[in-house]
Amino acid sequence: MKRNKANKNTSGTIALNKKARHDYHLEDKFEAGMSLQGWEIKSIREGKVNLTDNYIIFQNGEAYLVGCRITPLQQASTHVVCAPERARKLLLKKRELERLMGARDRQGYSIVASAMYWKKCWVKLEIYLAKGKHDHDKRDAVKDRDWQRQKERVMKHSV
C-alpha cells in the first residue's frame, strides 16, 4: 500500500536566489549536481537552505559552491559534526568547467547560483554566467517592471 506524501513544494524548487536577478545580468545557464552528505539531504528535504550571498570558486580544476547555508536538523545530526557553510563540490562536465573558468578569467564574468531544485532524486543547482549591474541598471529594471504592471492594469480594466 502506497502512502501519498503531501509535498509542500510541487514544483521541485528548493531555494531561490532572487538577489541574483537584481544584482546581475544573467546570461548563460548551466545545471550542476552537488556532492552532499546525508545530513544535508535531510535538511534540504525540510527546506532549510539559504542561497543568498553565495559564490563559486575553482580549485584544482574543480568548482565549489561557497556561502550556501544548509542548516542542520537537530535530530538528524546528533552523531555527525556538521559544517553548515562548508564548500560543496559541484559536479560539472569538463567542457562546462573549462567554459566557466575561461569566461571568468578572460571576459570578467561572475558565476552565480540562482536556484536549487530537485530533478528526480538528485539535488541540482542552476548557475549562470553573469555580469554585474550598475546602480542605474537596477533603477531602469525597476522602472520597466513598474511600467509593465501599469500597462497590464490598464489593459485589464479597459476590456
pLDDT (tens digit per residue) in 70-102: 988 877 556 677 888 889 999 999 999 999 999
Q: What is the CATH number of the domain that holds 65?
A: 2.40.280.10
Q: Which helix (H) or strand (E) holds 156?
A: helix 135-158
Beta bridge partners of 33: 91, 124
Residue 5 domain flag: no
Distance of CA 35 to the CA centre of its chain: 15
Check residue 2 and give its pLDDT. Answer: 47
Residue 115 domain flag: yes
What mean pLDDT value characterizes the chain? 84
Residue 4 domain flag: no
How far is 69 from 85, CA to CA, in rounded Å?
5
pLDDT per residue as tens digits for the range 33-69: 999 988 889 889 988 899 888 889 999 989 999 989 9
Beta bridge partners of 131: 25
Q: Domains in the chain: how many in total? A: 1
How far is 105 from 98, CA to CA, in rounded Å?
10
Whether 3 shows a pLDDT value over 70: the answer reads no
Going by pLDDT thresholds of 50, 70 and 90, the confidence category of residue 10 is low
Residue 37 domain flag: yes
What mean pLDDT do residues 114-132 have? Answer: 91
Domain interval for residue 92: 13-158
Residue 25, all three cell numbers: 545580468
Check residue 84 and give its pLDDT. Answer: 81
The set of residues, in sequence order, having a beta carbon less than 8 Å from that of 121 and lying 6+ positions away, is none
Beta strands in 4-100 (DSSP E): 13-16, 24-34, 49-50, 55-59, 62-66, 69-70, 88-91
Residue 6 domain flag: no
pTM as predicted: 0.74
Q: Is 29 helix (H, G, I), strand (E, B) or coil?
A: strand
How far is 123 from 51, CA to CA, in rounded Å?
14
Whether 110 shows a pLDDT value over 50: the answer reads yes
Residue 33 domain flag: yes
